[in-house]
Amino acid sequence: MTEVLIDSIGQHGDGIAEIGGERVFVPFTLPGERVEIARDGERGTLISIIAPSAERAEPISPYFGTCGGCSLQHLNRETYASFKRGLVEIALQHAEVETVVQPLIDATGAGRRRATLHVRKTGAGYMRAKSHEVLDIDACPILVPTLSKHAPRIARALQPLAGDCDVSFTLTDTGIDLSIKSERKLKSVALAEFARAQKLARLTFNGDAVYMARAPAVKMGKALVEIPPASFLQATAAAEETLARLVSEGAGKVKSVADLFSGVGPFALRLAEGARVFAADSDRAGIAALVKAVNHVQGLKPVEAKVRDLFRDPLAPIELNPFDAVVFDPPRAGAEAQAKELARSTVKTVVAVSCEPKTFARDAAILIAGGYRLASVVPVDQFAWSTHVEVVGVFRR
């Protein structure tokens, strides 16, 4: 055993101590704490806390420290918010982008409406920390109450039928949407009976919808959008609302907007309440859902939606220039190719939404090199007690 002083927190949430000039990463510790650890190379396992930090908080989950899901429940609210804001600040510093990052906005809301549980003979839950073993859970406090209460029970009930599998839950406005990935070959009749007994809205098995009592749908602005089985949806409803508000405020009062990497349209449908919108995404089913939603709602400006791979085929300046503003919200890889085209355009306002600060910073540097000014950067928290953070940046010419 070794007694050490924790002097900082790393980007993955681990406390950092220095032993003989070498850094050792110790999960679940805080700066200023004196702790006893078992060292294994550059990793340390916390054995006991000799002198706790005043910034330490009581975890909200009885599984914290054992479950591999959350890593920051031992931080108090102020330290937690500062840590997440710092993730964005550090990413921008590394990309040599100078700006002031605004305080973190809490958009965790009622909890996550999406979760994936692993099902084994030993139970159903998340993976144990640093392990391939499943931790059986009865509830999860970071989920919306309906999923926290019912998801573990439904997942366990599925094991005799589907065996070892992964089960993804999405709570929509019309009920629970369940997606199963399993190596077993199962009859649709048996799955449909299970779904009916559990009162599910839809059940998808290895990508195929085998049961649907009602289409899983989510209200986005004025429209009700039916969510395809594999399409993206923000983890919390509060985050979707918050991001959409920041996007709308950033775009301002404009007549035309391009929404790139639009998905099923959480931004496009709200932007269309005041502007003509062009939406593009490689998700064919998502674009079809957006078009259907537009066709079934009144009071929107025209929305044109196209299937397009923006990684391989980004919009060129000649296509971008007619728009007053452009919004992009890419996957974690960022929008490097599209940012380069925007840098060559004459678009006055660009609003960038990102779930990865490092690629956001890279794309921001590209836009700034192309003549844009980074007007604001806002971090948004929807993944409670994790090291993930959303970013919204507004760029203007």
Fold designation for 82-108+233-396: Rossmann fold (3.40.50)
Q: What mean pLDDT value characterizes the chain?
A: 97
How many CA atoms does the CB half-sphere of 176 hold within 13 Å?
Answer: 25
Task: Tell me the C-alpha distance between 9 and 78, whole Å.
Answer: 14
Name the CATH superfamily for 1-55: Nucleic acid-binding proteins (2.40.50.140)
Task: Tell me the C-alpha distance between 276 and 259, whole Å.
Answer: 10
pLDDT in tens, 35-79: 999 999 999 999 999 999 999 999 999 999 999 999 999 999 999
Q: How buried is residue 5: exposed, middle or buried, by Cβ count under 10 Å (0-12/13-18/19+)?
A: middle
Same fold, 1-55 and 82-108+233-396: no
Q: How buried is residue 372: exposed, middle or buried, by Cβ count under 10 Å (0-12/13-18/19+)?
A: buried
Tokens 């039928």 -> residue: 161
Tokens 């406005």 -> residue: 173
Task: Tell me the C-alpha distance between 313 and 251, whole Å.
Answer: 24
Q: Which of 227, 246, 241 has the alpha carbon at shortest distance from 382? A: 241
Task: Tell me the C-alpha distance between 257 and 326, whole Å.
Answer: 6
**Do 344 and 381 meet the contact criterion of CB atoms below 8 Å apart?**
no
115 Cα distance to chain centroid:
11
pLDDT in tens, 325-376: 999 999 999 999 999 999 999 999 999 999 999 999 999 999 999 999 999 9
**Do 354 and 361 meet the contact criterion of CB atoms below 8 Å apart?**
no
- Which residue ranges make up each domain of the chain? 1-55, 82-108+233-396, 114-217
Q: Please report, in angstroms and rounded to a whole number, the separation of the first and last CA atoms in the chain.
A: 58
Longest dimension (CA), the chain: 68
| Residue ranges for the chain with pLDDT beneath 50 | none
Active site residue 355: yes
Residues contacting residue 85 through CB under 8 Å, at least 6 positions apart: 101, 103, 104, 379
Task: Tell me the C-alpha distance between 203 and 252, whole Å.
Answer: 40
Question: What pLDDT, on a 0 to 100 scale, did the predictor assign at position 234?
Answer: 98
Question: What pLDDT, on a 0 to 100 scale, did the predictor assign at position 230?
Answer: 86
Residue length, the chain? 397
| Tokens found for residue 302 | 């025209």
| Tokens found for residue 47 | 């054995």
Residues contacting residue 44 through CB under 8 Å, at least 6 positions apart: 2, 4, 17, 24, 25, 26, 37, 38
Fold designation for 114-217: OB fold (Dihydrolipoamide Acetyltransferase, E2P) (2.40.50)
Residue from 67, 140, 165, 355 carrying the catalytic annotation: 355
Q: Where are the alpha helices (DSSP H) in the chain?
A: 77-94, 145-162, 188-197, 237-251, 268-271, 284-295, 317-320, 336-343, 357-369
Question: What pLDDT, on a 0 to 100 scale, did the predictor assign at position 268?
Answer: 99
Question: What pLDDT, on a 0 to 100 scale, did the predictor assign at position 130?
Answer: 85
